[in-house]
Structure 1
Amino acid sequence: MLDIIKSKINDSISAKKALLDDEVLLNEFNALIDACLASLKQGGKVIFCGNGGSFADAQHLSAEFTARFEKERRSLPSLALGTNSSTLSAIGNDYGFEYIFSRELDSIATDKDVFIAISTSGNSKNVVEAVKVANEKGIKTWGWTGKGAGKMGSLCATIQIPSNNTARIQECHILLGHILCGQVEERYFS
């Protein structure tokens, strides 16, 4: 049993090492940090979405902006799509589950915002639909995916975790999410 635990930890370390060694990905991620800073400085907000574990990550990271991450500071505008259960159920019922994020995004987002669409496969229909709406509205968008980026790869800039394992991808997403929150907080308030 201990060997299995150690193997999973080693798998996680390997995924993070591949992430660390991917200069293209790190440069794209740095561009995302810069875009978030620019957005917030001009009165925009950082908007997240995802399904399942990625939905939890979207809420988690949005909370780090609106509450605080490591510094005592004023709130930064951010939200996760799909958190209003009445909106979610109304859109799902009236239009279909694939539009739960895109309809909400269309109603609240402006071209000052940054949109981070999280899907380990890059193929989640409702996330892809939201990216399409973001493109129509001129919103700067990054897809957080795994290797290959799926359908989102042709629709927006992507942060492609160099792995095909969902758990390892999600572990890297939350690591990058914490780095994003920390860098935005540090640089915005310095």
Structure 2
Amino acid sequence: MSTPWTERIRAEIEASMRVKSAILRDFTLIGQIESLASDCVASLKGGGKILFAGNGGSFADAQHLSAEFTARLCYDRAPVASMALGTNSSAISAIGNDYGYEQVFARELDALAREGDLFIPITTSGNSPNILAAVEVARRRDVTCVGLTGQAGGKLYTLCDCIRVPSSETTRIQESHIMIGHILCALVERTLFPR
């Protein structure tokens, strides 16, 4: 039985499917995801770690994806080195107070990142000042950086390689970012810990 919400629910699901279908048909994007998975494997095999950062929903995605690496995704295996920047609330409040909110990720990245690490900034707009500042630090420290962003890419697209979800809607972009992140983790898991 249809309710007033039924068509709205179906429309939201269909909108999500359209974006994911566009990704599925875009072999350039598929190649970029494959390349990022290879970068993750190379970093981890070389003793590096995977670092994530984001704001709001993208912050939640950064934590979620880092947890998939350090815990597990599809099956039991050893943990891999990963962390989401900004999860230490004392550091965030201290850095924000002393240096400004635009520096909260950059300062942590500067302290923690080493050559051979991989930084994955997540921003739907590509224009978050604190993400852009962290990317500048990654570039200065020779840390490989591949961003997850929306169709336009924003300023992030001028600073590093980006996987751009073919949408300008925040909800659709975030849904696709978590899908891409799950794919990355699954590929890394299967490569480093074959069953």
Fold in common (TM above 0.5): yes
> CA offsets per residue over residues 17-76 of structure 1, 9 Å max, x none?
111111111111111100100000010000000000000000000001111111211110
Provide the identity percentage.
Answer: 53
What is the aligned-residue RMSD (CA, Å)? Answer: 0.6
Task: Tell me how far 1:160 sits from its aligned partner.
Answer: 0.0
Aligned to 2:166: 162
Larger radius of gyration: 2
Equivalent of 1:107 in 104, 111, 114: 111
Superposed, 1:61-72 pairs within 5 Å as 61-72=65-76
CA distance, structure 1, for counterparts of residue 164 and residue 32 of structure 2: 10
Residue by residue over 1:66-98, the C-alpha shift from the partner in whole angstroms, topping out at 9 and shown as x without a partner, is 111112111100000000001100000000000
From 76, 97, 100, the counterpart of 1:96 = 100
Q: Deviations over 1:135-154 (max 9, x none)?
A: 00111101100001000001
Count of aligned pairs between the two proteins: 190
Q: Does 1:126 align with 2:130?
A: yes
Q: Which stretch shows the higher mean deviation, 19-28 or 130-139?
A: 19-28
Could you list the runs of 5+ residues in structure 1 that have no partner in the other structure? none
C-alpha distance in structure 2 between counterparts of 1:70 and 1:102, whole Å: 32
Aligned counterpart, 2:28: 24
Q: Which residue of 1 aligns with 2:61?
A: 57
Runs of 4+ residues over 4 Å off in structure 1: none
Give the Cα separation in 2 of the matches to 1:174 and 1:74.
22
Q: Which letter maps to 2:84?
A: A
How far has the Cα of 1:173 moved from its partner?
0.3
* Structure 2 residue ranges without an equivalent (≥5): none
Structure 2 CA distance, aligned partners of 1:67 and 1:28?
A: 25
Residue aligning to 2:151: 147
Give me the whole-angstrom Cα distance separating, in 2, the residues matched to 1:3 and 1:161.
25
Given candidates 13, 19, 38, the residue that maps to 2:17 is 13
1:93 and 1:40 mapped to 2: Cα distance? 34
* Distance in 2 separating the partners of 1:39 and 1:7: 40
SS of residue matched to 1:150:
coil
Distance 1:74 1:14 in 2: 36
Q: Equivalents in 2 of 1:22, 1:110: separation in Å? A: 33
Q: Point out the more displaced range, 21-30 or 163-172.
A: 21-30
Aligned-partner Cα distance in 2 for 1:60–1:166: 18
